[in-house]
Amino acid sequence: MRKTVLFLLVAALHPAAAVETGHTRLRGVQPGTTATNPSAAEATEVAAVDRVEAGYWAITVEELQRARHLMHGPRGAFSVSNISPVEVLGIHARSDAERDRYAELFTKLLHDDAQRVLAWQRAGDAAMRRLFPHDKAIDFGRAPNTPSLPNWYFAPGGAAP
């Protein structure tokens, strides 16, 4: 018991340093090799993945890395985990012009996504009409009979009608 308390006290008082690594990458290690230095091929692969992700958001790899870095600070605690890098960069813009650029970029991305969702919905509606021409997409008349609940809010005096 005394050793445990002493250990916890030493651990609590021991200065610790935090090291920011950007992000963690896991990779397999071949038997007989060490995992300390990534190979040039792995570094190229990581850079290629970052280029693809940056391309999705129409930002540079440097901007993507800045957004990731910002997510390791308070932004990561204040925001949902799936906030886009464009939103992070816009929130932490270094000038009005930069903020406007990210706002326009994000708006274009949202607009394009809305167009894709609407096109998908139109295709689904057409498929419904083609495959089930005599059915409604949602037929509330076929819903099982459920007892209606009293409208407590609008009943006089708050009592059930």
Q: Give CA–CA dist 97/94, Å, rounded.
A: 8
**Residue 158 pLDDT:** 55
Q: Give CA–CA dist 118/50, Å, rounded.
A: 29
Torsion of CA 86, 91, 96, 102, to 10 degrees: 10
Q: In the block, which residue shows the tokens 């091929």?
A: 41
Q: Give CA–CA dist 1/55, Å, rounded.
A: 57
pTM over 0.85: no
- 76 Cα distance to chain centroid: 11
pLDDT of 23-37, one tens digit each?
Answer: 434 344 444 444 456
pLDDT band at 21 (very low <50, low <70, confident <90, very high): very low
Cβ–Cβ < 8 Å for 27, 35: yes
